[in-house]
A and B are shown apart, each in its own frame.
Chain A
Amino acid sequence: MYVAVKGGEKAIANAHALLAKRGRGSADAPRIDYPQIRDQLGVLVSRVMAEGSLYDPELAAKALLQAQGDVLEAVTLLRSYRTTLPRFGITVAVDTVGLPAERRVSATFKDIPGGQQLGATFDYTHRLLAEDLETPDVATPTAPVDEPMPRVTDLLGADALIERDRPDEGWTDPDPGDLTREPTVFPMSRAERLQALSRGDEGFLLSLGYSTQRGFGNNHPFAGEVRVGEVEVEFFAPEIGHAVPIGRIELTECQMVNQFVGSADQAPQFTRGYGLVFGRAERKAMSMSLVDRTLRHEEFSERVVSPAQDEEFVIAHSDNVEAAGFVEHLKLPHYVDFQAELGLIRSLRREFQARHGTEASATSTSTSTSTSTSTRSEENA
């Protein structure tokens, strides 16, 4: 009975107590502590940090624990905390060239300066369920390799085979937009779009990226480079007069190289799609770079024919906190509106039946007419 939805204070308290109990499981087993989640479920923690827009493995692990493993719930927890934090300013753009890559692969060249490095990857693991997990000894690297690792796209850029990542001259790094502090208005700048994509739902971006590969927004991508590693974050402090390092964060960067045949004004050149995500998040970074490139159709005068090219469609629906909330709000009582619809559908049906009654008699009249006609023709025969 709908009335059961009412009278909630005690019901809510009881529900929350039960939820906590379900989350605890058997009291005989020790409770998982957040450091275990942070260290042993690192990829999951990365996802919560990326979509929660807050780089803090400890809080992400705590959120996951509190959410009983519900990723979107954990993301919501982290976001609702993040939004209350003061924003001190904007860091200096992170230098991913200087990023000592734990992992770095390129699909466009067999060998690249600095070398390819597989690093910690699920690639080439045989996906066979294991009874027990083994942890082999891994020798810690003796000394960091000092060989520079230029970005593959920069190598291509040297020959102008790929679009430059900034105009040749007269360019100063503009302050990026911040969708969490400024009103969202379409159309967006690319910087705002990239922020939205970086916060966006991995599954949604994966599917959209995939759709572009299957012909819904053809963009012929090559994984120019994927790299994962820790990078230093610097903050320009006016009081000191120079940038000071404030910490290190782990990032995954993907530069997708895309075909482009050129136009009347532009020489044929490769184009870029860019992905940058907190933590170990290759699938997300790759999906993001596919979608980023697809959304740049206007810059290359490409025809808009597929969902992934539609900025409003992509950006307005990529945020899983918003999507989950709105889909799940259907659980809230709607009986006032439903009552209004009930009233309308009853009156429409009454009117239909009244009309149908007359139409039904009209139909039967026409049937009887045709019967009489055939009777007549029989008579004629």
Chain B
Amino acid sequence: MSGPRIVYNEGYLDEQTKRVVRRALLKGVAIPGFQVPFASREVPMPRGWGTGGVQVTASIIGPDDTLKVIDQGADDTTNAVSIRAFFEKVAGAASTTRTDEATIIQTRHRIPETPLTDNQIMVYQVPIPEPLRFLEPRETETRRLHALEEYGLMYVKLYEDIARYGHIAKTYDYPVLVNNRYVMAPSPIPSFDNPKMHQSPALQLFGAGREKRIYAIPPYTDVESLGFDDYPFEPQRFEQPCEICESTEVYLDEVLIDDQGGVMFVCSDTDHCERTLTARELDQSNTDQSNTDQSSTDPITDHITDPLTEVNA
């Protein structure tokens, strides 16, 4: 036998498969919030690690695109690094960590803090695309419920939460009603991010590889988080600012800093944090030199900012 035995296609997915995915995407865009079954392929990473998002991104990415990949809001979490490296390798795609420079943002569990524009596409990695799954495990049944727009189960669940806990006990993957028709799982983003989906100028695509479903929200579509008139949807709030960049109204990660229960709250969106910090430091160094010296002697802050500066490099 001559030539290498094992040959992979350029860009990994073959054109035929990209077409299959694109057709599903088009159908998804045409029926906002509807889960389109598609022949999900294996991709060279485990199922459940973003294989749906990877297939969507692989099918829409072109030579002019700039890709940003985040996991938990961060560009430098291991899986985000791994997926970005995959596309750099197989698609030769340009990549960035800056939200405002990206044309495609593949994400797991967050929507960036920086407002999106109509030149951008969000690609969500979705573990369980069916919002009714934990209320009704059978696909045959849930598809029927969606077809009949029968969402009583979901409202009963939310009502029971209120009866039991005093408020809706759903903090992430908080169900939304898309275009006033389909109840949709927004993927496990915190409910903090839900309002960003409503009337977003960016196209939002959702890929569930293991579950073999694709769905979409076209730009400027109504996305309403479920609630009741007397118990409306309430996104999470953080009272404190980020301890690195002092941003408020952003999603924060709680970082344990010692074994005495000490914690600090920092931005989950590393790009936002880094840019806010840079802007603030620039401001400060213009006015007061000594302040920056003080912050760099803090060992904790040093530890946290280390990986952030690594991304810069």
| Chain A interfacial positions (CB closer than 8 Å to B) | 1-3, 5-9, 11-12, 58-59, 62, 76, 79-84, 86, 179-187, 312, 316, 321-322, 324-329, 332-337, 339-344, 348, 351
B139, A340: Cβ atoms closer than 8 Å: no
Contact A325/B212 with A5-B78, A11-B78, A336-B73 known, Cβ cut-off 8 Å: no
> CB distance A337 to B171 under 8 Å?
yes
Contact of A183 with B109 at beta-carbon distance under 8 Å, contacts A5-B77, A333-B77, A337-B171 already known: no
Q: B48 contacts the other chain (Cβ, under 8 Å)? A: yes
Residue of B9, B78, B172, B253 most packed against chain A (CB within 10 A): B78
- Are A180 and B39 closer than 8 Å at their CB atoms? yes
Give min CB distance, A178 to chain B, whole Å: 8
Q: B310 near A: Cβ within 8 Å?
A: yes
Closest-CB distance, B31 to chain A (whole angstroms): 15
Asked if B188 lies at the interface with its beta carbon under 8 angstroms from chain A, I say yes
| Bound complex: CA A334 to CA B110 (Å) | 11
Q: Say whether B206 faces chain A, with CB atoms less than 8 Å apart.
A: no
Contact of A337 among B13, B48, B172 (CB under 8 A): B172
Smallest CB separation, A240 vs chain B (Å): 24
Tell me if B46 and A325 are in contact (CB < 8 A): yes
- Complex interface: chain A residues within 8 A of B255 (CB): 1-3
CB-based contact A12/B41 at 8 Å: no
Structural contact, A312 and B41, CB atoms closer than 8 A: no
Which residues of chain B are near A351, meaning CB under 8 Å? 165-166
Name B residues whose Cβ lies closer than 8 Å to a Cβ of A.
5-6, 8-9, 12-14, 16-17, 37-39, 41-44, 46-49, 51, 71-74, 76-79, 81-82, 85, 108-110, 127, 137-140, 165-166, 169, 171-173, 188-192, 210, 212, 236, 251-257, 268, 270, 303-304, 306-307, 310
Contact present for A339 and B77 (CB under 8 Å): no
Q: B44 near A332 (CB under 8 angstroms)?
A: no
CA of A340 to CA of B73, assembled, Å: 14
Asked if A326 contacts B6 (CB within 8 A), the reply is no
Q: Contacts of A183 on B, CB cut-off 8 Å?
A: 37-39, 212
Contact of A59 among B6, B17, B110, B165 (CB under 8 A): B6
Which B residues lie within 8 Å of A343 (CB)? 171, 236
* Candidates B43, B171, B256; contact of A344 at CB < 8 Å: B171
